[in-house]
């Protein structure tokens, strides 16, 4: 029997909170609350399966286009959860990091992010990357600006700009994504971790994020094990 392959880096687009709420005749904000609750429930399980890096798309740069009430609710929830529930991640030896632009985020959100990052910075049981005010295009643009400034300041030569060098200027030092999961049956990337997704296997379950549980994650792992990863080469 073949040994089960566990992806080193899993990324999840948490889609379908509002549709889940609508189907259950609940306010859409309750869908977000249930979705956030599900992050807490599943995170430890995912790491217990042997995953070393977990990235989740919590809030995109485009999400600021939503209603003021919805954005405020989400930001209030981030602050509450970062300061309370994610303490349990520290107890489980999980390091929490954030990817995204800090500009545009409220001061209390930034303070909560700094608090949990500082608390967990030395943990070694896995890396939980929360993408907040994040966009894949924005990340590439910001990395390009940083490199351009180094070149202008004569701290970096144009000839030294390689893929490896470029990757050093992304928001976080993360390995390539092995498995990307997007819930709710939507088959698109929505500007998520475009650089890191180059050779990822993709899995699109129909269930909405609040209904995505341990059993659904195990299905994703089985699907991943059924893929042949060639990275541009020939099949065996």
Alpha-carbon span 41 to 44, nearest angstrom:
7
> How confident is residue 229, by pLDDT bands cut at 50, 70 and 90?
confident
Above 90 in pLDDT, residue 210? Answer: yes
C-alpha R_g of the chain? 18
DSSP character for 96?
E
Domain boundaries, the chain: 9-135+177-225
Q: How many CA atoms lie within 13 A of 152 on its CB side?
A: 6
- Give the mean pLDDT of 213-222: 98
Alpha-carbon span 223 to 236, nearest angstrom:
19
Angstrom CA distances, 115 to 82, 149, 174, stand at 8, 30, 21
Whether 100 contacts 134, CB under 8 Å:
yes
Q: Average per-residue pLDDT in the chain?
A: 93
Above 80 in pLDDT, residue 2? Answer: no
- Counting beta carbons within 10 angstroms of the beta carbon of residue 124, is it exposed (0 to 12), middle (13 to 18) or buried (19 or more)? exposed
Residue with the larger pLDDT of the pair 133 and 82:
133
CB neighbourhood size of 159 (10 A) = 6
> How confident is residue 215, by pLDDT bands cut at 50, 70 and 90?
very high
**What percentage of the chain has pLDDT greater than the value 70?**
96
**Catalytic residue from among 63, 123, 191, 225:** 63
What does the block give as tokens for 213?
Answer: 């549980």
> How confident is residue 207, by pLDDT bands cut at 50, 70 and 90?
very high
Instruction: Write out pLDDT tens, residues 139-158.
Output: 999 999 999 999 999 999 99
- Tell the CATH topology of 9-135+177-225: Undecaprenyl pyrophosphate synthetase (3.40.1180)
- Counting beta carbons within 10 angstroms of the beta carbon of residue 77, is it exposed (0 to 12), middle (13 to 18) or buried (19 or more)? middle
Name the pTM for this structure. Answer: 0.93
Above 90 in pLDDT, residue 81? Answer: no
Alpha-carbon span 63 to 171, nearest angstrom:
19
**Catalytic residue from among 15, 17, 38, 129:** 15
∠ CA 59-64-67, rounded to 5°? 115
Does residue 108 have an active-site annotation? Answer: no
**What percentage of the chain has pLDDT greater than the value 90?**
86
Does residue 15 have an active-site annotation? Answer: yes
Instruction: Write out pLDDT tens, residues 133-144.
Output: 999 999 999 999
- Looking at residue 232, its pLDDT comes to 60
């Amino acid at each position: 029997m073949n040994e089960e392959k566990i992806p080193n880096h899993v990324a999840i687009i948490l889609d379908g909170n509002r549709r889940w709420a609508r189907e259950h005749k609940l306010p859409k904000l309750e869908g977000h609350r249930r979705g956030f609750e599900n992050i807490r429930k599943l995170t430890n399980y995912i790491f217990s399966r042997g995953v070393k890096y977990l990235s989740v798309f919590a809030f995109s740069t485009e999400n600021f286009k939503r209603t003021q009430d919805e954005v405020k609710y989400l930001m209030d929830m981030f602050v509450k959860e970062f300061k309370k529930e994610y303490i349990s991640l520290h107890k489980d030896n999980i390091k929490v990091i954030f990817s995204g632009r800090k500009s545009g985020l409220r001061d209390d959100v930034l303070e909560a992010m700094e608090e949990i990052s500082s608390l967990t910075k030395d943990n070694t049981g896995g890396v939980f990357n929360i993408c907040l005010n994040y966009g894949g295009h924005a990340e590439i643009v910001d990395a390009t600006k940083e490199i351009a400034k180094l070149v202008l300041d004569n701290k970096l030569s144009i000839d030294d700009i390689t893929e490896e060098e470029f990757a050093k200027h992304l928001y976080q030092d993360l390995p390539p994504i092995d498995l990307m999961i997007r819930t709710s049956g939507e088959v698109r990337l929505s500007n998520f971790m475009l650089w890191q997704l180059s050779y990822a296997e993709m899995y699109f379950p129909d269930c909405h994020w609040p209904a995505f549980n341990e059993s659904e994650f195990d299905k994703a792992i089985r699907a991943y094990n059924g893929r042949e990863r060639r990275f541009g080469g020939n099949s065996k």
